[in-house]
Structure 1
Amino acid sequence: MARIFTVDEARSLMPAVLEHARAFVAVRADLAELTHDLRHSGASPLGGVPEAKGLEARMDEILSWFDAEDIEIKGVAPLLVDFPAVLGEVSVRLCWLEGETALGWYHRSDLGFPGRRALP
């Protein structure tokens, strides 16, 4: 069974979420630049195919941290993660989107991102 977070538990993980998110965003940007350069000019200051493979592996490693914490990855560009939770007997996802500095949103599990609301 998947972990169910309280708001306090999810918020206590936010420093680590932000740290892993910063690392992921940096690697994602490097991989995008390297891939673009290799496709268009055959060379990149960031390296070649081995470096691209290394960046892909690093992205997988970072994302595996979220999985290990039972945090759901909903998107990678932008990075979007959900913490399964229950608010008032309703199944919800506490929702964090890349660029936000704190956990302040949720949505019903059956509605997804379009149903996003500010946490009370």
Structure 2
Amino acid sequence: MSADVREFTVAEARALIPEVRERAAEVVRLRADLAELALDLRTCGASPLGGVAEAKAFEARLDEQIAWFTGQGIEIKGIAPLLLDFPAVLDGRSVRLCWLEGDAELGWYHRTELGFAGRRPLP
């Protein structure tokens, strides 16, 4: 792994899950509000959620939440649904501990080169 990639232990990644879930809930809320606002503005020209300024504010707050994940060394693989990977090493192999929006805990991993298709339960 490159020197600038943080490697998590399973325990370190799991310790972050309560905050991950809290911030993920905010990402989901902001994502939904932004999508609804954008659709209303495109189709109706107005929205109960606001206008262009509010859309920009939603985007900025969403960017702030995303920056928290990346600042922790967590990789964002998707935003809808929110899919996060924690770089790690298991049994001498490069893996990603994998958390998907809605997961109550961190219970999955996949080999780095396989991605989501190789997702397995953590031992």
TM-score, structure 2 length as denominator? 0.97
Q: CA deviation at 1:72?
A: 0.4
**Aligned equivalent of 2:25:** 22
1:51 equivalent to 2:54? Answer yes
1:9 equivalent to 2:12? Answer yes
Q: CA deviation at 1:24?
A: 0.5
1:60 equivalent to 2:68? Answer no
Per-residue CA deviation, residues 31-56 of structure 1 (Å, 9 max, x unaligned), is 00000001110010000000000000
**Aligned equivalent of 1:98:** 101
Aligned partner of residue 13 in structure 1, secondary structure: helix
Moved over 6 A (4+): none
Identical amino acids, percent of aligned pairs: 66
Gaps of 5+ in 1: none
1:109 equivalent to 2:112? Answer yes
Following the alignment from structure 1 to structure 2, what is the Cα–Cα distance between the partners of residues 23 and 118?
A: 26
Q: CA deviation at 1:15?
A: 0.5
Following the alignment from structure 1 to structure 2, what is the Cα–Cα distance between the partners of residues 46 and 72?
A: 30
Aligned residues: 120
Following the alignment from structure 1 to structure 2, what is the Cα–Cα distance between the partners of residues 74 and 48?
A: 29
Aligned partner of residue 8 in structure 2, secondary structure: coil
Query: In the alignment, residue 53 of structure 2 is paired with which amino acid?
Result: P
**Aligned equivalent of 1:38:** 41
